[in-house]
Chains A and B, each alone.
Chain A
Amino acid sequence: MSTAIESVGDSGSQRSHPFDPRVKILYLVWVFLMVSVMMHPLLLLLIFLLTVATACASGLSLWVLVKSARFGLFIAAASWILWIFFLRSQGVVLFSVGALKVTEPGVFNGWSVASRIAAILLAFVVVFKTTSNRKVMTALYRLHVSVPFAMVIGITLRLIPQLQAEYATILEAQRSRAVEFDKGGLLARMRKHIAYIIPLILRALKITSDLSLAMESRAFDPYARRTFSEMFEFDSRDVAVVIFMGVTLLTAIIARVSGFGGMPAKWIAR
């Protein structure tokens, strides 16, 4: 099991990163707010490219980025295609693929959704792949997030790789019982998924129950005063990034309130 975990949660993949973990958490919030405020596809492209640039600068390999974000990137790509399909009869036709007309509203509305998902996902991967569990928790504490909430985030991050490994083992166990998840009709396939969903839920309950016992046995009390071994202080670079994020977010909000940055009327889906 540990082999599967190593590939996901190994601290080795969590490279040291120059920024204060609080700045990274704020960066995640900033990306979320920026893609929520902005509607124009070109501005969303800009934000997306910025998250790509940040991902490249983080030192994470393309393999790690794609592997970690593959599910979300798939959802983003799928939603883009769906938008193109649903808006095939609206607006200017850019080109056709067989009988399918690819229109401007389809492409740009699809892009808006896909780029939002991809940008948030990339930011999430970069932050959590370059910041240890403990640093994330400490940053949340320092940002005055409630202790139980910060702990839930920390423990969830800790559990993800373990549950992924459990999922892989359960799938293997069911495949050994001649289950073929990719065969049969839609209903039959859905029924087959019960074969791993139930064991996975039960294992998740067992694992979290054991972990909570282990944590309690190590004096964990969410409401008690806690020591943070991690030390970090804002330096000038962190301050500069926070100022940049603050100014751009404020500008974006003012721009939107003033009627800029929205989806152009000709591309709005009817």
Chain B
Amino acid sequence: MTPAIKINNLTYSYRRQLDRPALQEVTLEIATGEFVAIAGRAGSGKSTLCYALNGLIPHSFGGRMNGDVVVCGLNTRLTPVPHLARHIGLVLQNAESQLVGLTVEEDAAFGLENTGLPREEVAQRVHAALQVMGLEKVLHRSPWTLSGGQKQRLSIAAAIALQPQVLVLDNPTAELDPMGKKEVMAALARLNSDLGMTVVIVNQEIEEILPYAARLILMDAGRIVRAGNLVEVIDSIDMRRAGVKLPEVAQAADELRKKGCWEGRLPLTVDEAAKKLVGVSPLWKSAAHHRAPSDAPGEPIIQMENISFSYPDGNPVFSGVTLTVKRGEFVTLMGPNGAGKTTLAKHMNGLLIPTSGRVLIRGVDTRTSRVARLAKTVGYVFQNPDHQLFCRTAAEELAFGPRNLGWSKAEVDKAVEQGLDHIGGQIRGKEDPFFMGLAERKLVAIASILTMGPDVLVLDEPATGADHDAALRIMHYLSELHRQGLTIIIVTHDVSLAANYADRIVVLHSGSVALDGAPNEIFQRHEQLTACSVAPPAIAALAQELHLSPFTCLVDEFVEGFAGTT
């Protein structure tokens, strides 16, 4: 059988970086009907490879390309992108950036209209694609009103309406909540199994693709460093080298293996791990004492008293929320997309004022104070550093907030110096944030808020979009700030992050606080979490499966407890 994709010795450099190839000597074959995952750290060449597959490289990006890419028998160098689009669909990370139409139907029809197909066939294919993606009931809705998962499914519907043999997806679930991720992955599984479509997916979260992908390709520095069976690649040292996070159960087993407590290959699922450990689980001893006990929280610093909020169109976001955050706490706000997490967080520095009820920041009612004044107490870091950064150097960026507060030059300089020490020193201060990687930009964004000396730092999805190494850097930085006494509140979908760093989790659902407590307490409430569209971390699910007592949701605690049992 002809392979769906055949790449022969591909080397590619972007137009302005001819001396730094983004892809180097990539050779790869993907068979028709395969479900293949690609992983690697940021800048490893994953997205570039996706663009090379559908012909955007070299046709749209230009640059220098050596070697060949053949997709469904067509050499991408010789075939125009519009023609290739009928054979290979590409779905990008940000669903919103791909919306072309003002209704779901319009959006799905865009590609088909471009190909000049008869009107009746366009209609027929649009309906078929939307049906496969489960969107037939929202045909006439504006795509902007859909949930994150629905938007991404619409992007997939628009791609598959062209009936391509191959579907390439570049990090399609990165910005989705767990429910959205599940929706998209299930849809891809259907396309692969029912329609025999070849699926190539770039995904940082290996846990997500475990049930579906047969093969995993690891990339690093523009090269394929390992490709093979999922189990074999996950169990290889290349996973760590490529900066890809192991699935939690595999990570735990790997640690146990290092301690001589695990034999054989690494498990990929909770069931596999549970089967192997069930015999020794009664011997498990809690290692909770190994965790550094955090200082008892201090006085209330943010008090939300029975607050409700509706947008000007009358659409209520939440109602009757009462929440107190105390000095020194590390809180994560969780919940599905649209639960009101970000909206609630924006009440914490006065960006939004409640429709009813009141928010007190260190006793000051946000209705009576300006955001600029509250910024001295509560710093807010937005999800996308692009919304925040605009100065020519990191040092100027750090000085911006203190200057707005009217600080003297000496005070500003001192704050900038301290801030720069946190993120890599004075040399870093001269760098232009525009040319930094995502993690560095996020760190500069955080530091630029910290220079204003707030007591509380609110961060919206601080690690989203960052690869494993970068996410760890950001979270270690925040952890260190918390250790120094800063109160931290994070809005996140990442349950693993919440389990590892927070000492309190607040879950929002349907406009109210559904759960509020310590991670160990929250992640045991499986049914309530499911109702809130939050899945517990895999290690918590494994601990529950093994009936470990006391319960744990941390890999290191789990591993410590088993050390010496086998």
A residues neighboring B (CB under 8 Å): 1-3, 5-7, 9-12, 14, 132-134, 158, 161-162, 166, 169-170, 172-180, 194-196, 198-199, 202-203, 206-207, 210-221, 224-229, 231
Contacts and interface: CB of A to CB of B under 8 A. Distances in A.
Given A2-B144, A172-B382, A217 B54 contact: yes
Contacts of A176: 349, 351, 371, 375, 379-380, 382, 449
Nearest to A196: B390
B554 interface: no
Interface stretch (B83-91, B300-308, B490-498): B83-91
Contacts of A228: 113, 119
A177 B346 contact: no
A180 B111 contact: no
Given A1-B96, A172-B382, A229 B452 contact: no
A216 B56 contact: yes
B470 interface: no
A133 B113 contact: no
Given A178-B404, A199-B387, A221 B122 contact: no
B92 interface: yes
A226 B114 contact: yes
A169 B144 contact: no
Interface residues of B, number: 74
Nearest to B89: A217
A157 to B, nearest CB: 8
B101 interface: yes
A217 B98 CA distance: 10
A67 to B, nearest CB: 9
Given A2-B96, A172-B346, A214-B98, A177 B401 contact: yes
B110 A218 contact: yes
B109 interface: yes
Contacts of B60: 212-213, 216
A128 B497 CA distance: 45
Contacts of A10: 142, 144-145
B311 interface: yes
Contacts of A2: 96, 144-145
A211 B159 contact: no
A2 B96 CA distance: 9
14 contacts: A134-B106, A169-B384, A170-B387, A175-B371, A176-B380, A177-B404, A180-B372, A199-B390, A207-B97, A214-B155, A218-B85, A218-B114, A220-B110, A229-B122
Contacts of A212: 60
Contacts of A133: 101-102, 106
A173 B460 CA distance: 11
A221 B109 contact: no
B283 interface: no
A43 B405 CA distance: 54
Given A177-B401, A180-B372, A199-B386, A219 B102 contact: no
B139 to A, nearest CB: 11
Contacts of A194: 390
A176 B142 CA distance: 31
B448 A177 contact: yes
A177 B349 CA distance: 11
Contacts of A170: 387-388
B101 A178 contact: no
A224 B113 contact: no
B117 interface: yes
